[in-house]
Amino acid sequence: MGPMSALTRNEAQLRAQLLDVHHYAVTLDLTTGDETFDSTTVIRFSARTPADTFVELKPEELRSATLDGHPLDPAALDGNRLPLTGLAEGPHELRVDARMRYSRTGEGLHRFTDPADGETYVYTQMFMDDVQRVFPAFDQPDLKAVFEFTVTAPAHWTVLANGTTTHTGDREADGAGVWTSAPTPVISTYLAAVAAGPWHSVTTEHAGLPFGIHCRKSLAPHLDADADEILSVTTACYDRYHEKFTEPYPFDSYDQAFVPEFNAGAMENPGLVTFRDEFVFRSAVTDTERQRRAMVIAHEMAHMWFGDLVTLAWFDDIWLNESFAEYMGYQTLTEATRFTGTWTEFGMERKPWGYAADQRPSTHPVAPGPDDVPDTASALLNFDGISYAKGASALRQLVAWLGEKDFLAGINTHFARHKFANATLADFVDSLAAHTDRDVHAWADVWLRTTGIDTLTPRIQESHGGWTLTVDRHGSRPHRITAGTYARATDGLLERTALLDLDVPSDEILSASGPRPDLLVLNDGDLGYAKVRLDETSLETALRGLSRIPDPLTRAVVWGSLRDMVRDGELDPFDYLRTLDAHIPEESDLAVVQGVLGFARTQIADRYVDPADRGTALGLITSATRDLLRRTEDGSDPGLRLAAVRAFIDSATQPDTIAAWLADGVVAGGPELDPELSWRILARLAVLGAVDEDAIDAALAADPSATGQQGAARCRAALPTAEAKDAAWQRLFHDDDLSNYLFSATAQGFWQPEQTELLHDHVARYYPEAIAVGARRGPAIGEAAGRWAFPAPHVDEANLRAGHAALEDPGITPMMRRVLVDQLDDLARSLRVRAARTS
């Protein structure tokens, strides 16, 4: 068998011209052992002309294949391609019988045994080209077909699929259950889905359709506790989308399965959305985290139209799926549920992801050209902050420019024209253009076909009796934004005095009477996508009075401006930390608190300040969190208190206080320690050398769950001993038996800023061994090795040189190259920020 081949765009276009695929009948037997399963598939398709082509599959063993009743040679399988030669024009039937391997990396058919009770679960993640790990397919998004599944599973299991499933009987030999699924409408191969196991399910009916939520049995009480919230968000979004969209929901049911060891946040399989099961909360969470779960629910449901009903023709148009689902998720949640602060969380958490991605060498247009996405391997790299956060921000700009009425009219035309089919950026722009006199094609060129982020800087000039404002633009895009002006009130609050609509660039100079504002905030309301700066007076006002700005979204914009200034070397990181110490204790918005503390802890303290100053940086963070803890002792805001407790634990430089909390099982003044807080404290104590293997073993015995296993792996890797580090290194880069989640947990524990001397010799070892494991174990592990196992605390030129040299390794995979390029750019930025402090 030859090497696996990524499908190229040219190959996909040729095959789409040759074939019409009609129907997949997939039969899976999940009772054949722990390592493999049986997969038998019948594909009905037609050739438009006589042709040679191929079907893709990645079997453990190809037992047989027949085309129109004639056997094919299994040895003809070349890598992941089975040739189909000499096809006559007209209908054909391909039958394939194969033994397939279960996955432990979240790709294909992932198998997981729950350490809490020994029960086993499997679920598919077919995205991009992983359907081939489960059954053969003409695997490209524009060869849609009907799918039906027949699944044999252990007797006590339930089987879920895209269509409603029915238990049709038991196999006589062993009592195993046989399940069949209703046929789907035509969908793309990457969207077919099955999930099987002894699920705990909560079901209801809404709008005449069955709705269900499902999780592992060991998580049942936690799902039950939140079932009303999850289902009410689901049905509220469903109803709101039916108010927005003229096309009705196109599938026969709506199941949401919370599945173990899931790589993404969720996946939009029609009728069977899969979510990472951390969204079934075992421990206390903040309301912002509940809002985040609700947003993912809304995002995935938007995909039922954007992606599932109308699907991209090729992966250069990923943004047509992800940017729309991201925008619609945030906007619809705001309109239809109690979570009305979603755009503040977007500004604090998601937008910085887009801003960071857009300033790296790996940036790409929101809508790259077809030549930029030549194959599926390159397409996989674009699921990033550009395709999600920047694209959603661009759509906010588009709505601000077109108006929501014309925007929704264009969307509905797009659905009507392309339902159950495929569409491109050009198709979408044409649909919008049908409803507006504005030049949508020109807008798409400057917003979707370009890279980078503009910077907007206000220039305020005082004049007789008033002041004037001009906005300098470093960049090339037009922006429609608002600017807020604020004045100090007698009670210390900063009151908004005006909200000015601005088009940038503009030949007009905005003039105003009266004194110049104490604070001017460009992009107030955060409808734009640009870095914004503060004029000198406004910067001084912000540093002194940030918590006195009334609107949390405005505060988020100002905090974002300060964040960007730190990252660009224009604001001393300690000015940011001192502002945090002064204002976060007064902050009431959870998304702002979590975003500011997260940036301060993981970027400033760990990367942007010299090691000699790190203790001072952590001290400012713990000072602010102590103040927050004092403020919330009365139980008035448990979410803020939880955020403060977490940040205090993560920033502790001495073990005494957090060790006492762990011993007592409670934070003084509350909350009681749940599993998440207990493992968090134990991980920090491990870093500080204040616990040993025995303590970790005891904690795992008390919490033998999957998250307990991950917590123990993280803690063991964090212990500051050569023996612990060597053992973790062996597990990461040589044993090859860690699942995707246990790999990531081990990697997260390994590198610590407190342990750079201990780990000095591992830095050079990292690059060749991480590249090798990525090539050996595939994209999911490669991404984890690059993201979590990277030696980020080693902010020095030697690490940077070693990394750049490693990019020349001929064995590096596209995924590993992309992640390392991003990590090395972040490392170089950290060096620049440190240099700016000392210059």
pLDDT digits (tens, 9 = 90+) for 470-507: 999 999 999 999 999 999 998 889 999 999 999 999 87
Q: What is the pLDDT of residue 271?
A: 98
Q: Is residue 374 part of a domain?
A: yes
Q: What is the pLDDT of residue 113?
A: 98
Q: What are phi and psi of 489, to 5 degrees?
A: -90, 170
- Per the annotation, the verdict on 300 as an active-site residue is yes
Q: How far is CA 503 from the centre of its chain?
A: 32
pLDDT tens figures, 421-459: 999 999 999 999 999 999 999 999 999 999 999 999 999
Q: Which residue has the tokens 């077109």?
A: 402
Q: What is the pLDDT of residue 839?
A: 74
Alpha-carbon span 187 to 179, nearest angstrom: 21
Q: Is residue 578 part of a domain?
A: no
Instruction: Dig out the tokens for 643 from the structure.
Output: 């955020």
The H or E element that residue 591 is part of is helix 590-599
Q: What is the DSSP letter of 346?
A: I
Residue 322 is part of which domain span? 310-448
Q: What is the pLDDT of residue 24?
A: 99
Q: Is residue 80 part of a domain?
A: no
| Interstrand relation of 177-181 and 165-170 (parallel, antiparallel or unpaired) | antiparallel
Instruction: Dig out the tokens for 302 from the structure.
Output: 């938007």
Query: CA nearest 44: which of 137, 181, 173?
Result: 137
Q: What is the DSSP letter of 421?
A: E
Q: Is the pLDDT of residue 463 over 90?
A: no
Residue 277: Cβ within 10 Å count: 24
Alpha-carbon span 230 to 237, nearest angstrom: 11
Alpha-carbon span 344 to 636, nearest angstrom: 22
Final residue before a domain boundary, out of 426, 448, 470 = 448
Q: How confident is the model at residue 362 (pLDDT cuts 50, 70, 90)?
A: very high
pLDDT tens figures, 78-125: 999 999 999 999 999 999 999 999 999 999 999 999 999 999 999 999
pLDDT tens figures, 636-663: 899 999 999 999 999 999 999 999 999 9
Alpha-carbon span 772 to 505, nearest angstrom: 49
Q: What is the pLDDT of residue 311?
A: 98
Q: Is residue 360 part of a domain?
A: yes
CATH of the domain at 381: 1.10.390.10
Catalytic-role residue among 247, 268, 300, 345: 300
Query: CA nearest 343: which of 352, 334, 335, 353?
Result: 334
Residue 839: Cβ within 10 Å count: 6
745-765 as b/e: b if 16+ CB within 10 A: bbbbbbbbbbbbeebeebbbe
Final residue before a domain boundary, out of 417, 448, 479 = 448
Q: Are 332 and 315 contacting, i.e. CB atoms less than 8 angstroms apart?
A: no
pLDDT tens figures, 773-795: 999 999 999 999 999 999 999 99
Q: Is residue 753 part of a domain?
A: yes
Q: Please state the rounded mean pLDDT for residues 213-225.
A: 98
Q: What is the pLDDT of residue 1?
A: 57
DSSP letter string, 162-227: SS-EEEEEE-TTT--EEEEEPPPSSB-GGG--EEEES-EEEEEEETTEEEEEEE-GGGHHHHHHHH
Q: What is the pLDDT of residue 511?
A: 86
Longest pairwise C-alpha distance within the chain? 95
Q: Please state the rounded mean pLDDT for residues 186-202.
A: 98
Q: Are 808 and 793 contacting, i.e. CB atoms less than 8 angstroms apart?
A: no
pLDDT tens figures, 656-665: 999 999 999 9
Residue 5: Cβ within 10 Å count: 17
User: What is the model's pTM?
Assistant: 0.98
Instruction: Dig out the tokens for 776 from the structure.
Output: 């050996």
Q: Is the pLDDT of residue 2 over 70?
A: no
Q: Average pLDDT over the chain, rounded to whole?
A: 96
Q: What is the pLDDT of residue 509?
A: 80
Residues in contact with 564: Cβ distance below 8 Å, sequence separation at least 6, in sequence order: 355, 531, 532
Q: Are 96 and 41 contacting, i.e. CB atoms less than 8 angstroms apart?
A: yes
CA distances (Å), origin 712, targets 44, 666, 697, 715: 49, 20, 8, 5
Alpha-carbon span 736 to 741, nearest angstrom: 13
Instruction: Dig out the tokens for 804 from the structure.
Output: 């750049």
Q: Is residue 706 part of a domain?
A: no
Q: Is residue 366 part of a domain?
A: yes
By three-state DSSP, how is residue 158 classified?
A: strand
Q: Is residue 500 part of a domain?
A: no
Q: Is the pLDDT of residue 628 over 60?
A: yes
Q: How confident is the model at residue 510 (pLDDT cuts 50, 70, 90)?
A: confident
Percent of the chain with pLDDT over 90: 96
Total structural domains within the chain: 2
Final residue before a domain boundary, out of 448, 477, 511 = 448
